[in-house]
Structure 1
Amino acid sequence: MANPVVVEQSRAIPVAVSDAFAKTLPMPLPSLFNHWYGPIPPIKAVHDQTGDWSAVGQTRTIALVGGGGMRETLTRVDAPDAFGYTLTDVRGAMSPLIDHIEGLWQFRPQGTGTLVTWQWTLHPKSALTAPALPVFARIWKGYAAKALGTLSDYLLR
């Protein structure tokens, strides 16, 4: 199997680390990921989530505009420093390229606020599709920058 590709994007936001973590983890995904960025669609809805999104092992189904989607499992919750998840059962435009994704959000003090870093580890579907992942990763960085801008606006309200 081909090696995964790691991509990340960060943004400094002038809020306390604990507030950034506490408000980001449960934020409704359709509010945060509400835009197209190239071939990456917005999130239309989240299904099958029970209770607050807060405990390792919880799962939910993410529906994307255009019919794609994926299954998300919360794999790490280390308040207020980080939370992680795995995306599996990828359907839609990303499915030919990606087998699964490991996601990580990190929150670190920076100046008078928080440096929020969002990271994806992209695991290719096959050795044949692996060469396309760096291209997708560059597109994802733009998508992530836009999402972090949306997050910043949300946290500063």
Structure 2
Amino acid sequence: MTVTASASTARVAAAPLDRAWSIATPLTPVGFYPRAGVIPAVVAVHEQTGPWDAVGRTRRLELSDGSSVVESLVRVEPDGAFVYELSEFTGLLGRLVTGGRADWSYRATPSGRTRVDWTYSFFARPGRGLIVRGIVRFAWAPYMRRVLVGITREIERTA
């Protein structure tokens, strides 16, 4: 499957790598992924198959517009990489994409902080690539920056 559109952001959290990892990776997305323009908020997590820390775990996110998406963990390397794939989009995104992928990486900095990098990729349905690229560029990329600020603040607050 070819990536249609991707966005990336990064931020440094004032916490050591092990603390940043242990705080951020199991966070529920509720409250950290708010509504922003055309992007609905995550309002609930359903059907989670266990702690959000192992390959094969899945959960369904309920969104504020009544749609949902399934997340599946495909890579978990403690204090390093965290990757989940998204499928079964309903609502508007379900008409535009076949899936998505979120890649998170955590790296210690020389100052004892943690750099968090996040890349989100979408796979458009045939004939929908231009629309998906526009949404990612003008709505999703700025949204990711906002979300990562909230997550790094939570890391720092609880570290």
Fold-level match, TM-score > 0.5? yes
Aligned counterparts of 1:58 and 1:156: Cα–Cα separation in 2: 27
SS in 2 for 1:134: helix
Q: Aligned Cα RMSD in Å?
A: 1.5
Q: Which amino acid aligns with 1:50?
A: T
The normalised TM-score by structure 1 is: 0.92
Deviations 1:66-106 (A, max 9, x none): 10111111100011111000100001222222110011111
1:11 aligns with 2:11: yes
CA displacement at 1:56 relative to structure 2: 0.3
Residues 21, 82 of structure 1: 8 Å contact kept: no
1:132–1:79 CA distance, 2 compared to 1 (3 A): same
How many residues are matched?
155
SS in 1 for 2:56: coil
1:117–1:48 CA distance, 2 compared to 1 (3 A): same
1:155 aligns with 2:151: no
Aligned counterparts of 1:152 and 1:120: Cα–Cα separation in 2: 17
1:37: which partner in 2? 36
CA displacement at 1:111 relative to structure 2: 4.3
Residues 13, 153 of structure 2: 8 Å contact kept: no
CA displacement at 1:154 relative to structure 2: 0.7
1:140: which partner in 2? 140
1:90: which partner in 2? 89
SS in 2 for 1:90: coil
1:3–1:51 CA distance, 2 compared to 1 (3 A): closer
Aligned counterparts of 2:152 and 2:14: Cα–Cα separation in 1: 8
Q: Which amino acid aligns with 1:20?
A: A
Same amino acid, percent of matched pairs: 26
Aligned counterparts of 1:31 and 1:5: Cα–Cα separation in 2: 25
Runs of at least 5 residues in structure 2 that lack an aligned partner in the other structure: none
Residues 99, 123 of structure 2: 8 Å contact kept: yes
Residues 12, 115 of structure 1: 8 Å contact kept: yes
Q: Which amino acid aligns with 2:88?
A: D
Report runs of 4+ in structure 1 exceeding 3 Å deviation: none
Aligned counterparts of 1:48 and 1:129: Cα–Cα separation in 2: 30
Runs of at least 5 residues in structure 1 that lack an aligned partner in the other structure: none
Question: What does 1:1-157 align with in structure 2 at a 5 Å threshold?
Answer: 3-33=3-33, 35-112=34-111, 113-126=113-126, 128-138=127-137, 139-157=139-157
Q: Which amino acid aligns with 2:128?
A: T
Residues 4, 133 of structure 2: 8 Å contact kept: no
Aligned counterparts of 1:31 and 1:111: Cα–Cα separation in 2: 31
Aligned counterparts of 2:110 and 2:144: Cα–Cα separation in 1: 22
